[in-house]
Chain A
Amino acid sequence: DAKTTQPPSMDCAEGRAANLPCNHSTISGNEYVYWYRQIHSQGPQYIIHGLKNNETNEMASLIITEDRKSSTLILPHATLRDTAVYYCSRSNTSYGKLTFGQGTILTVHP
């Protein structure tokens, strides 16, 4: 079962770090973890992805547990514009398709 599980909603104060968890306990060895976000009426925006090492880019950091059963997306200094639905997804390198979770609605408040 290629599911990912995320909390339905989270709040974060502006300027603080937002830590969004994702459970993917059935992930297989060749599946990457991808994070996207979706702001109302727009298409999903790519944030970051990783296989087993922690990753960082200009938008966020991705922490993947050693057993790869869960991960955390970190937005280091959340702004009001980071309010969105955040999707954790997984992708098999052989087939390419993304399997999305239900997403976490992140609300950043002043």
Chain B
Amino acid sequence: NAGVMQNPRHLVRRRGQEARLRCSPMKGHSHVYWYRQLPEEGLKFMVYLQKENIIDESGMPKERFSAEFPKEGPSILRIQQVVRGDSAAYFCASSWDRSNQPQHFGDGTRLSIL
């Protein structure tokens, strides 16, 4: 019973490049959340998606960041023209629904910007 799968686990990019982070939710889960964890800090919500729809993107930076969750395939978090401050661990979580069902997290993608 596979959990939330994220890839790659580690990603290195140079300033100005694009980073694409992938997340496959648990089987049967249609709600996906992305969180960011800066070094030595707690987790901060970025965006919440349900198949093909963005429900809440209140935590997403207004520029360079975008997210999608297509009908088929994984959810993608895309960061364009990366800067040093984007270095962080990015975690994806999924849930059965958005009420009182717990979110289950993947092991994250650690993004390093050179």
Residues on A facing B (Cβ under 8 Å): 32, 34, 36, 41-46, 49, 51, 87, 93-103
- CB contact between B43 and one of A49, A87, A94 (< 8 Å): that residue: A87
Q: Mark B76-99, 1 if CB is under 8 A from A, else 0.
A: 000000000000000101010011
- In the bound complex, residues from chain B placing their C-beta under 8 Å from that of A94 are 98
Interface residues of B (CB under 8 A from A): 4, 6, 31, 33, 35, 41-45, 48, 55-56, 58-59, 91, 93, 95, 98-100, 102-108
Q: Which residues of A contact B91 (CB under 8 A)?
A: 43-44
A95 to B6, CA, bound (A): 23
Number of A-B contacts (CB under 8 A): 66
Main secondary structure of the interface of A (DSSP, over half): loop
Given contacts A49-B100, A101-B42, A102-B42, whether A95 and B48 have CB atoms under 8 Å apart is yes
Of the candidates B4, B31, B33, B99, which one forms a contact with A98 in the assembled complex, judged by CB atoms under 8 Å apart? B33
Closest to A41 in B: B107
In the complex formed, the residue of B with least CB distance to A46 is: B102
